[in-house]
């Protein structure tokens, strides 16, 4: 039985190596073709049997009617002539003879059996003899032969007519026998057709069941493989893949699921990397607030003010220093209110103004309605620090840093503007390119604060158009920050 199962499997692969649609179409063509074979054979054989049987019956009927003409009409017509009831010229004897000869030829053309045709040929020759006797009778009557001579010729004609009638009767018997034989042949053909149709019906039934089971098996197997793959993916196994299926309609779906699993894996890995980068960016942003250099300089400023008995400024810078770190840490929260973010900037600039009082001045202006809105913490301080260390410090005269905030229906806007040294076009293009391409942070040698803010905005909002830089060399720099969809209140 192993060969049988292997044959079925190969046959199944043959049928289902293409699409289900093509398989169903092919199976239907096969089934319809198989069913048409016995139908067409039955129609053809039945038509042949009908024609043959009709020809035999028709020949018997024609011959029987012809036999009546031969037995009676010729003798009766010639008797009237001999008896003097009509002249030979007025008689219909030749017309009757022509009719008989024509019908014999017509019956001969539809006779299939050679023996039967030979009988008709004998009858045809006998009719030729009868015609010669009729011609002789006409000659005698024209020559005035006595009646007794004419009656003798009439007896000869009757004898020939009787012979033709017997030949036709023999033909009828043979045709009836041929009809009986044809009937037996019809029965045999009907039996063969019945057996053939039964075999074909059994084969078609088995074939239909096989196609149905093969189709169900292939579809169930394909769907099962896809369900198993989707279950593996749902369970988190993004390395799962489905093998190529034999059913055409499922190949594209299988490929798409495999591609989807690969893309999901890639997206998850990218998301993990983005989260790691975000955490690193936040950590670096926090670390930037507590650099040893900033701590040392601030503590040195406090000591210097204390030694100069400037206790009010000591209190002011110490309070600003404390509030600066309180907001920076924010108990580990990633979001702060706009009010706290501006306070954070104010504390930072308060500290820096005490240190750089001769070269630094600042202003902070924003709408009061913005205070309760929330944003990511540590967004503005790196921009202000960048304005101070890369802009104001390179001026020979006093510099000004302007921090502003405003909003519209969909976004919050912040700007940090300085009148520092500014950037050349080449340097501005380099900074913009760094913010757009996000290289390895360790490879940056300038603009790290801008890069850090740009990176964090992109990670949170999945957009690269939230930070804009405008700068003119020897005139200053303007950085505009946009925060979309801020509807939360703290």
pLDDT digits (tens, 9 = 90+) for 374-408: 888 888 888 988 888 888 888 777 889 999 999 98
Q: Of residues 443 and 341, which shows the higher confidence score?
A: 341
Distance, CA of 408 to CA of 405 (rounded, Å): 11
Confidence of residue 244 (pLDDT cuts 50, 70, 90): low
Distance, CA of 101 to CA of 186 (rounded, Å): 33
Domains of the chain, by residue range, sit at 2-223, 287-484
Query: What is the rounded average pLDDT for all residues in the chain?
Result: 77
Q: Is the pLDDT of residue 446 over 60?
A: no
Distance, CA of 484 to CA of 409 (rounded, Å): 10
Confidence of residue 272 (pLDDT cuts 50, 70, 90): low
Q: N- to C-terminal Cα distance for the chain? A: 78
Given the candidates 2.30.110.10, 1.20.120.1730, 1.10.1040.10, 1.10.220.150, the CATH classification of the domain at 2-223 is: 1.20.120.1730
What per-residue confidence (pLDDT) applies to 69? 83
What per-residue confidence (pLDDT) applies to 20? 66
Residue 462 has, within 13 A of its CA and on its CB side, a CA count of: 3
Please give the model's pTM, rounded to 2 decimal places: 0.46
Q: Is the pLDDT of residue 430 over 70?
A: yes
Q: Is the pLDDT of residue 120 over 80?
A: yes
Contacts of 104 (CB under 8 A, 6+ apart): 66, 120, 123, 124, 127
What per-residue confidence (pLDDT) applies to 469? 92
Give the highest mean pLDDT range of 163-167, 244-248, 362-366.
362-366
**How many helical (H) and strand (E) elements, i.e. helices and strands, does the chain have?**
13, 7
Of 201-205, 408-412, 430-434, the range with the lowest mean pLDDT is 201-205
Confidence of residue 273 (pLDDT cuts 50, 70, 90): low
Antiparallel, parallel or unpaired: β 360-366 and 399-407: parallel
Tokens of 239: 């390395």
Distance, CA of 208 to CA of 457 (rounded, Å): 64
Q: Judge whether 124 and 104 are in contact, CB under 8 Å.
A: yes
Cα torsion for 270, 273, 278, 281, to the nearest 10°?
Answer: -130
Antiparallel, parallel or unpaired: β 467-472 and 476-484: antiparallel
Q: What angle do CA 353, 354, 357 make, to 5 degrees?
A: 60
Q: Is the pLDDT of residue 317 over 50?
A: yes
Q: Is the pLDDT of residue 116 over 60?
A: yes
Of 77-81, 100-104, 286-290, the range with the lowest mean pLDDT is 286-290
Q: Name beta bridge partners: 415.
A: 404, 480
What per-residue confidence (pLDDT) applies to 96? 85
Distance, CA of 19 to CA of 29 (rounded, Å): 15
Residue range 408-419: mean pLDDT, rounded: 91
CATH of domain 287-484: 3.30.565.10
- DSSP structure class, residue 373: B
Confidence of residue 142 (pLDDT cuts 50, 70, 90): confident
Cβ neighbour number for residue 83 with a 10 Å cutoff:
12
């Amino acid at each position: 039985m192993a060969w049988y199962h292997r044959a079925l499997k190969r046959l199944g692969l043959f049928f289902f190596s293409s699409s289900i649609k093509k398989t169903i179409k092919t199976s239907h063509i096969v089934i319809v073709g198989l069913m048409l074979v016995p139908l067409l054979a039955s129609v053809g054989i039945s038509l042949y049997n009908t024609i043959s049987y009709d020809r035999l019956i028709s020949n018997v009927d024609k011959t029987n009617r012809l036999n009546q003409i031969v037995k009676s009409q010729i003798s009766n017509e010639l008797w009237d002539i001999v008896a003097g009831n009509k002249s030979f010229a007025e008689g219909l004897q030749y017309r009757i003879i022509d009719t008989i000869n024509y019908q014999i030829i017509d019956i001969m053309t539809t006779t299939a059996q050679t023996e039967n045709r030979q009988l008709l040929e004998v009858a045809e020759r006998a009719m030729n003899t009868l015609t010669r006797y009729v011609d002789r009778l006409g000659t005698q009557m024209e020559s005035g032969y006595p009646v007794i001579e004419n009656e003798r010729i009439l007896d000869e004609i009757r004898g020939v007519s009787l012979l033709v009638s017997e030949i036709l009767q023999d033909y009828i018997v043979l045709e009836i026998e041929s009809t009986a034989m044809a009937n037996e042949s019809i029965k045999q053909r009907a039996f063969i057709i019945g057996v053939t149709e039964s075999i074909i019906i059994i084969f078609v039934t088995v074939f239909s069941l096989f196609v149905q089971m093969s189709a169900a098996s292939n579809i169930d197997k394909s769907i099962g493989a896809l369900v198993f793959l989707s279950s593996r993916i749902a369970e988190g196994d993004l390395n799962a893949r489905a093998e190529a299926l034999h059913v055409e309609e499922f190949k594209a779906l299988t490929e798409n699921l495999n591609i989807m699993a690969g893309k999901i894996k890639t997206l998850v890995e990218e998301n993990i990397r983005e989260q790691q980068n975000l955490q690193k960016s936040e950590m670096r942003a926090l670390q930037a607030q507590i650099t040893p250099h900033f701590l040392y300089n601030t503590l040195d400023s406090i000591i210097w003010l204390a030694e100069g008995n400037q206790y009010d400024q000591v209190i002011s810078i110490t309070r600003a220093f404390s509030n600066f770190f309180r907001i920076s840490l924010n108990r580990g929260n990633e979001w702060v209110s706009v009010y706290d973010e501006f306070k954070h900037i104010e504390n930072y600039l308060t500290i820096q103004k005490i240190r750089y009082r001769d070269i630094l001045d600042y202003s902070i202006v924003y709408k009061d309605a913005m205070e309760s809105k929330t944003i990511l913490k540590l967004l503005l301080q790196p921009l202000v620090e960048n304005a101070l260390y890369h802009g104001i410090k390179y001026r020979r005269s006093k510099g000004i840093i302007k921090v502003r905030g405003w909003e519209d229906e969909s976004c919050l806007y912040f700007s940090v503007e300085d009148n520092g040294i500014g950037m050349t076009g080449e340097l501005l293009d380099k900074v913009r390119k760094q913010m757009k391409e996000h290289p390895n942070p360790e490879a940056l040698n300038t603009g790290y604060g801008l890069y850090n803010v740009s990176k964090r905005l992109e990670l949170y909002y999945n957009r690269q158009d939230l930070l804009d830089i405008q700068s003119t060399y020897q005139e200053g720099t303007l950085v505009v920050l946009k925060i979309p969809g801020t509807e939360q209140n703290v």
